[in-house]
Amino acid sequence: MRLRNIPRAGSVLAANPEIVVANPKDFIGNWTKIFENNNPLHLEIGIGRGNFIINLAKQNPDINFLGIEKFDSVLLRALEKTIDNPIKNLRLLRYDANNILEIFGNGEIEKIYLNFSDPWERTSQRNKRMTHTNFLKKYEKILTGGGILQYKTDNRKFFEYSLSEFNNFGLRINSLNLDLHENEPTWNIRTEYEEKFAGLGKKIYFCAVSFKKKEKTMEKTIELGKGLGNELRFGMRFEEVKKILGEPSEIENSEVPSADGEDFGDTVAWIYDELGATLYFDEEDEWKLGTIEVDDDDFELGGKKLIGKGIKDVKNILQNMNINDINEEEIEAEEGEDEEVKLRLLFSQEKCLNVWFEDGVCCEIQWSSL
């Protein structure tokens, strides 16, 4: 469909800065300033004439809404519906969605709506589709951990393509409907296109997916006897750690020998895949954080990276840190492990530090409370 250009559109948009944000780049990472509150932020990409987002904002006054539209003449129609009665929790943006990373920071958006986006049916144009992997990567950055993407279309092939993209990207399907209007839910708000398609008897396809929860990033500095970075400290309990790092990717329970080597006690390992760290809580320490283990090459000890370095280099780094009680031990492969891989261990009892090597290359660092 060819868009009809409206010459006055640009000037009308500019004359209403209380509704249309003129300089969205200025608010990256700080959209709360626009709304003067900390309510969740939802985003519709491609608002058309605005029926959907306007009604959604009216129904949800405790959520802030932003609507992006690329063309002045289209955005004008949405503005005209609110210009006499502005909605406090709604702002409009004239912006190209290809560049959303210019105006939104990491984790700023809680939910994104895609309603009847252009299917770009030619295969050569698939990277323009709003559900293409390139766009999913952008959504993942601006969405909060576990953020939601809600999607509607009348195009069956586009819907099937999108489901494939969602699956390949590892998104979780929360809701799926192959004929939304057959038993239309009360929460559904129809867009102008949707009303038109419904009148033609076309099926409306719906899907809501969620992105993986994000683990909080933190400083990757090993603090011997203390913990990790400036925040994570030995002696912390589960809830204290969770406030810093969020939910772990995986939790493992196992038994470990006690200090005398006879009785066995329980230990719980919290694994943070994105961080590249595993945290251990022992029953005998009243479930306080007692040991940290890392295998990511970004971690530093004394300002130096150890992972990936050879035994001689690691020894030199430790000695330069005045760690002189360095012992070396060859570790025999346990049953079921690859016997061809040579395991060695450098350890300091004074610093409660273990540095593991596979075939002479540092692969893991483990340290505990003193």
Residue type, 265: G
Catalytic-labelled residue, pool 72, 118, 154, 266: 118
Q: Which of 112, 59, 48, 52 is nearest to 89 (CA)?
A: 59
| Residues ≥6 apart with Cβ < 8 Å to 200 | none
Contact between 143 and 211 (Cβ < 8 Å):
yes
* 169 CB burial (10 A radius; 0-12, 13-18, 19+): middle
Given strand 232-233, what is the order of strands in its sheet? 222-223, 227-228, 232-233
How many residues does the structure list for the chain?
A: 370
Tokens standing for residue 273 = 């895949």
Tokens standing for residue 180 = 């939304």
- Sign for the CA dihedral angle at 349, 353, 357, 362 comes to negative
Rounded to whole angstroms, how far apart are CA atoms 330 and 272? Answer: 28
| Residues ≥6 apart with Cβ < 8 Å to 221 | 228, 229, 230, 299, 300, 301
Rounded to whole angstroms, how far apart are CA atoms 356 and 354? Answer: 6
The answer to whether residue 118 is catalytic is: yes
Residue type, 195: E
Cite the active site residues: 118
